[in-house]
Amino acid sequence: MSPDIRIESFDHRLAPPHAPLIRRVEAARSAAERALPNGLQRPPAAVAGILVERSKWLAQFARVGEGPDAPVVGFKLGYAERSTRFYSWLGGVDPDFRRRGIARQLMVDQHRWCTAEGFELIETSTTNRFRAMLLLNLRMGFDVVGTRAGEHALNILLAKSLKPRPGITGVL
Ligand SMILES: CC(C)(COP(=O)(O)OP(=O)(O)OC[C@H]1O[C@@H](n2cnc3c(N)ncnc32)[C@H](O)[C@@H]1OP(=O)(O)O)[C@@H](O)C(=O)NCCC(=O)NCCS
């Protein structure tokens, strides 16, 4: 990842009213609209609300340049499903900043944080349409664990165990 890009993270330790989180989600809106067909799907405060109602959550933002107005070009949001299971919910990278290792770095940092927080499994889902994300997930050690019929496409369910598995290297 180039040195002008840095990752800023917030987690459940952030005190209410969570203003810095809402500000960053707002700043991520443009990247989300460019990365995902429906953008963030809801207003920034509602996105933040989904995170902060969980016992643990992590929000990561890749920003270009310095200063409070440095634009967000990539993001990754996830939360605890149960005490040992983390759901990696939503993420994307602005098309102008792709293939620079931003999504991989966000994922590496997320997995490190999940391990430190005591999670044993990370779950996520995607569709064939999001092929780059599917490939990245597989390369980062996720297994396909199921499928579910969605409204518009088949959802591909993926999981990665954070417990070491003998003989399985994780990253391919
Ligand atoms: C998926 C996405 C986040 C990847 O972001 P990125 O910052 O470009 O990814 P990285 O540069 O970190 O790529 C890491 C690895 O992922 C894989 N990868 C990423 N983009 C890929 C592509 N278009 N085709 C094939 N493999 C790809 C490669 O293995 C890549 O490693 P390499 O560059 O050394 O070959 C980005 O393409 C995106 O925002 N897509 C749309 C949003 C999305 O799919 N969100 C998930 C919805 S469920």
Question: Considering the entire predicted model, what is its pTM?
Answer: 0.95
Of all protein residues, the one whose alpha carbon is nearest to atom 4 of ligand 1 is: 103
Residue 44, ligand 1, Cβ within 6 A? no
What pLDDT is stored for residue 169 in this prediction? 60
Where in the chain are the domains? Answer: 5-161
Of all protein residues, the one whose alpha carbon is nearest to atom 16 of ligand 1 is: 136
What pLDDT is stored for residue 25 in this prediction? 97
Of all protein residues, the one whose alpha carbon is nearest to atom 45 of ligand 1 is: 92
**What number does CATH give the domain 5-161?**
3.40.630.30
Residue 12, ligand 1, Cβ within 6 A? no
Can you say whether residue 116 is alpha, beta or left, with left for phi > 0 and alpha for psi between -120 and 50 degrees? alpha
Average pLDDT per block of 10 residues along the chain, 172 residues long: 93 96 97 96 96 98 92 98 96 97 98 98 96 97 96 95 74 60
What pLDDT is stored for residue 28 in this prediction? 97
Q: State in Å: Cα 140 to ligand 1 middle.
A: 11
Q: State in Å: Cα 142 to ligand 1 middle.
A: 14
- For 117-169, give the DSSP string: TT--EEEEEE-TT-HHHHHHHHHTT-EEEEEEE-SSSEEEEEEEE-S--TT--
Residue 92, ligand 1, Cβ within 6 A? yes
The 3-state secondary structure of 16-83, one letter per residue: CCCHHHHHHHHHHHHHHHHHCCCCCCCCHHHHHHHHHCCCCEEEEEEEECCCCCCCEEEEEEEEEEEC
